[in-house]
Amino acid sequence: MGFAPDWVLGATCGVITHKYVIGDLPLQAYTNKFSKGLSESYDDTSGDKLMAITEEMMQFLASVDGDGAMLINSAYIFNIVNFDETGGKRKIKGLFKSALAAQKKEVSIDDVLKSFRTFAFSMRSNPNLLAPKGWNISQTADIEWLTEIFDQRVRITDSF
């Protein structure tokens, strides 16, 4: 196989953060459930890796802006899914390659966290980065298999 692209890891951990905050299950349940689905396409999406990234993201959000933390999280998911590193529109399905395709180089936990922190600080100076009202990741075209993973029912037994 190969390794997950940085934007897939970032979006996944952002979705886990959102579901954990609004849900009533342990964080481990979400990370394990998403890890199972992602591991069919990527080698580096263990529950432990997703847990480490998500915990750091949530700690950062709590330290930066308690009231607007979930706005930052939603904006991050929106922007990382829809735009590439240069700010151009992300093309999920290209003629020869998909943005969801596994990569040869593993993305580190620190790389994902650096991207998240950078985005959070840039959002302070640019409120145009907010996600549109009512936006949901399932509205994004060409990532159906990824949103299927995110929309799975998570149970308490997924914690183990």
Output the CA–CA distances (angstroms, integers) from residue 74 to 24, 39, 103, 139, in the order listed. 19, 24, 25, 13
CA-CA-CA-CA torsion for 47, 48, 50, 55, nearest 10 degrees? 130
Percent with pLDDT over 90 in the chain: 84
**Span 94-127, pLDDT tens digits:** 878 899 999 999 999 999 999 999 999 999 889 8
Distance between CA atoms of residues 93 and 56, nearest Å: 30
pLDDT at 66 over 80: no
Distance between CA atoms of residues 11 and 4, nearest Å: 11
Tell me the pTM: 0.94
Q: In the chain, what are the helix, strand and coil shares in percent, each to the nearest 5?
A: 60, 5, 35
User: pLDDT grade, residue 20 (50/70/90)?
Assistant: very high
pLDDT at 65 over 70: no
Compute how many other C-beta atoms are within 10 angstroms of the C-beta atom of residue 48.
Answer: 12
